[in-house]
Amino acid sequence: MSEKPSTTLPATVEKIITSPSPREPEKAQISVEGADHLYRELRIENTLTDENGHEVRLKPGAEIEVTIEAPPEATLPKSGGNQPQPRS
């Protein structure tokens, strides 16, 4: 079984955003290093699961990693190979 193509980038939890409504989850604002300036911030629900299955939260200032995975059929070779040719 082959692994999915992926990349992992360092990131930092910039701040925790509490919800004004108890029905809405708390959010973590994450700054991803290496991303374009206008696109480096992510906001995600601040709920993770630890190795024991317990829910945990991120802390402000935490150094973390963001991993992006894609199924092999969603990728193309970076250079050369069987890249599709643009249509005229």
Encode pLDDT of 40-54 as tens digits. 999 999 999 999 999
Percentage of residues of the chain with pLDDT beyond 90: 83
> pLDDT tens for residues 1-58?
458 999 999 999 999 999 999 999 999 999 999 999 999 999 999 999 999 999 999 9
Order across the sheet with 63-69: list the strands: 41-45, 27-32, 6-17, 63-69
Residue tagged 């601040």 (tokens): 46
Question: What pLDDT shows up at residue 13?
Answer: 98
